[in-house]
Amino acid sequence: MNLTQEDWASKLQEDDNAVILDVRTEDECLDGMIPGAINIDIYKGQGFIYKVDELDRSKNYYVYCKAGGRSAQACSIMNQMGFETTYNLMGGFSEWEGPTVIPE
């Protein structure tokens, strides 16, 4: 499901079962990440599938990339893999106005 920045952020705050998933490349993550996000690069192809397959399907996934395209694709793949609740951040990290952290 595509959500605006405001809806995505407010839903995330109220969700005790949330996992934030960043599907950008490692280099892109150096520009900053949403706090608490895990990074699985969608460009890794089958590697992305393997990593996602290890995730807990009972969680709600809040997915983002740089602009919203790759994360929409990731949500679609995850839905096909049996993940019921995925939320795509429209506009991606480039439009994010919430808190960010620089990965170590």
Q: pLDDT in tens for each of the 104 residues of the chain? A: 999 999 999 999 999 999 999 999 999 999 999 999 999 999 999 999 999 999 999 999 999 999 999 999 999 999 999 999 999 999 999 999 999 999 87
CA 83 to chain centre: 13
In the chain, what are the domains?
A: 2-95 (3.40.250.10)
Q: Are 100 and 94 in contact (CB under 8 A)?
A: no
Instruction: State yes or no: is 29 an active-site residue.
Output: no
Alpha carbon 58 to chain centroid distance?
Answer: 16
Residue 102 is which amino acid?
Answer: I
Residue 83 has what DSSP assignment? -
Which residue, chain included where needed, has tokens 């793949």?
Answer: 77
What is the distance between the alpha carbons of residues 60 and 102, in angstroms, rounded to a whole number? 24
What are 64's strand-pairing partners? 22
Classify residue 51 by burial, with Cβ atoms within 10 Å: 0-12, 13-18, 19+: middle
Catalytic residue among 12, 21, 42, 65: 65
